Structure 1
């Protein structure tokens, strides 16, 4: 009989072949199946989920509702292969997953994060160059973390100053232009990478051991940098702690871009559709959400609407 871990490998391989980005889901599900393997369970059941929930750690109901959804999707697939699989009820957790209010970094905070990443210690300096370049790239392009980590070397065209993002969250490809300063920083990292690493994968962002940089490493190093600049409190046992996330760099890019449009007097609705395409959103409503989520943008939008009403009445 296959273990839950082996079944998960099959499930993830199938969904990735369909174009899904499952990096976050995999981290959660891997811990779930590892727990099941450790206690000798080969099947998903309501009892297993509740036992895992009891022993996994503290989190609010909204978070557990989100985790339950991941387990249920895995269980639905597994039930097609093993009729003894029990699909946990969606009512096991009372909470409902809500989109988290973004933390918007001030420009100085972003500069501090990028500068501090450049001081991360390593024998040959590649660790500092890697994470400084990655964090800076996300901040100036609004890419998702895993989109940046998934870039291959041929996806980064330094001559044309264009990135090609392939198989993004919504399954499509898109091109992102970048400026000369970003091109210089990407080229500087690539030069150091090629000088230090003889045998490489095709990924653009590579660690000192020659392996591709991963999601867990990105979040660990971002947490360390955030503590160093005072955005997170010190933590014991290498815990990440709580505070602004690396994904908030993407939110900050979007919000600062929209703020600039308001200040420049641009047609916000027209520009938002462009930004939606640039960010790789499946629907424009996911981009317009920033106006509702950020008080300053909401105030600017309300003031713009009020001005239009006054102009129409005059």
Structure 2
């Protein structure tokens, strides 16, 4: 290892140790920084760490612009910290780093979602469990709004098939939370568990969703199979779009029911696992035409768009004391949303309805 790479590696490890001592997990960021040190060593770079060196590292990766922007941000924050004795001249340009690319969410209709789930059976016709795994997983994402990374991390003990409750461990804020599911989703999960156990009676892994090899379905495996399914269905979308769909469809349903949307937003935020329900506003990006789409129980001329619809987002109103008291009982709020609302029904509810315990 060159002297400069060794020096840089030492600073990186100190920075990682500092961030973790402050309570941050810092796993992905640590991987990016260590990869940068390897890049410096591999490229035999000897100059002080500068913007051009960092850009060379970032551009050495393929993938989306958003991924490159995230790596760039990790390096920029490291350089801003970079302790040196004696002080060195600033080598990082003051120019702002590119903003991460925000992809507009793709809000699927019921027919499009059904088509996506049907396409799962054609992902790998010779391995039926692979298609069943993806169909059930997509149904769970669509009916709960969970993050896909949390779903693949579910263990068997985290899914209570008797009471219809999913335990999500170490959420975005390192807390566990309970997510009640609709009875149709519960039935679909039971059916998948039976088919999975029939194929792998002696599982190699405690994961709830298994790959074709009997081990935990990885995030990369989910993404790969999801891409195959959405191409077969002819739909350009990402797994995270199902989370957007859950939030936007919920808002639309409340609007059609003439419910007090502002008062109900804390309920939606709680179910989605947001620490502050203002974070939910990010998921409420939609086309006003979708919001005002006719429903079977409301004539078009009877609809009144809520404030903020024209801008494509509904922002939460201040939380009153009554709402704050309600938010203390997360389980009660979540259960009300999961069991009292047709939105949380499993997308293939008719298929799952006949499945017993």
Per the TM superposition, whether the score is higher than 0.5 is: yes
Once the two structures are superposed, residues 15-38 of structure 1 have per-residue CA deviations (whole angstroms, 9 ceiling, x without a partner) of 6x9575967x68867875665565
The 3 A distance-change label for structure 1 pair 290 and 58 is closer
**280-289 or 36-45: bigger deviation:** 36-45
Name which of 176, 181, 191 aligns with 2:179: 176
Once the two structures are superposed, residues 94-147 of structure 1 have per-residue CA deviations (whole angstroms, 9 ceiling, x without a partner) of 422354321111111111111111222165422112111111110110000111
1:39 Cα deviation (Å)? 3.6
Once the two structures are superposed, residues 235-270 of structure 1 have per-residue CA deviations (whole angstroms, 9 ceiling, x without a partner) of xxxxxxxx3111101100110011000001111112
Rg larger in 1 or in 2? 2
Once the two structures are superposed, residues 135-170 of structure 1 have per-residue CA deviations (whole angstroms, 9 ceiling, x without a partner) of 111011000011111111111001001111111112
The match for 2:237 is: 244
Q: Distance in 2 between matches of 1:59 and 1:72?
A: 19
Q: Distance in 1 between matches of 2:304 and 2:91?
A: 44
Gapped regions of structure 2 (runs ≥ 5): 293-302, 309-357
The 3 A distance-change label for structure 1 pair 281 and 121 is same
The match for 1:208 is: 212
**TM-score normalized by the length of structure 2:** 0.66
Write out aligned runs for 1:1-314 (5 A): 20=25, 35-36=39-40, 38-39=42-43, 45-46=49-50, 47-57=52-62, 60=65, 64-73=68-77, 89=92, 91=94, 94-97=97-100, 99-121=102-124, 123-197=126-200, 198-231=202-235, 243-291=236-284, 293-296=285-288, 303-305=305-307
SS where residue 175 of structure 1 aligns?
Answer: strand
Q: Distance in 1 between matches of 2:86 and 2:280?
A: 42
The answer on whether the counterparts of 1:161 and 1:179 sit within 8 Å (CA) in structure 2 is yes
Q: Distance in 2 between matches of 1:117 and 1:44?
A: 51
Once the two structures are superposed, residues 11-63 of structure 1 have per-residue CA deviations (whole angstroms, 9 ceiling, x without a partner) of 59x86x9575967x688678756655654679993343222234334755x66
The answer on whether the counterparts of 1:113 and 1:229 sit within 8 Å (CA) in structure 2 is yes
Q: Distance in 2 between matches of 1:94 and 1:149?
A: 32
**What is the aligned-residue RMSD (CA, Å)?**
4.0
- The structure showing larger relative contact order (alpha-carbon pairs under 8 Å, at least 6 residues apart) is 2
**TM-score normalized by the length of structure 1:** 0.74
The answer on whether the counterparts of 1:156 and 1:162 sit within 8 Å (CA) in structure 2 is yes
SS where residue 104 of structure 2 aligns?
Answer: coil
The answer on whether the counterparts of 1:142 and 1:249 sit within 8 Å (CA) in structure 2 is yes
**188-197 or 268-277: bigger deviation:** 188-197
Count of residue pairs the alignment pairs up: 287
The 3 A distance-change label for structure 1 pair 41 and 175 is farther
Q: Distance in 2 between matches of 1:139 and 1:106?
A: 11
The answer on whether the counterparts of 2:205 and 2:215 sit within 8 Å (CA) in structure 1 is yes
Q: Distance in 1 between matches of 2:56 and 2:23?
A: 31
SS where residue 60 of structure 2 aligns?
Answer: helix
The match for 1:236 is: none
The answer on whether the counterparts of 2:148 and 2:239 sit within 8 Å (CA) in structure 1 is yes
The answer on whether the counterparts of 2:79 and 2:92 sit within 8 Å (CA) in structure 1 is no
**168-177 or 252-261: bigger deviation:** 168-177
The 3 A distance-change label for structure 1 pair 27 and 140 is farther
Gapped regions of structure 1 (runs ≥ 5): 232-242, 307-314
Once the two structures are superposed, residues 68-114 of structure 1 have per-residue CA deviations (whole angstroms, 9 ceiling, x without a partner) of 1133456678x579999999847465422354321111111111111
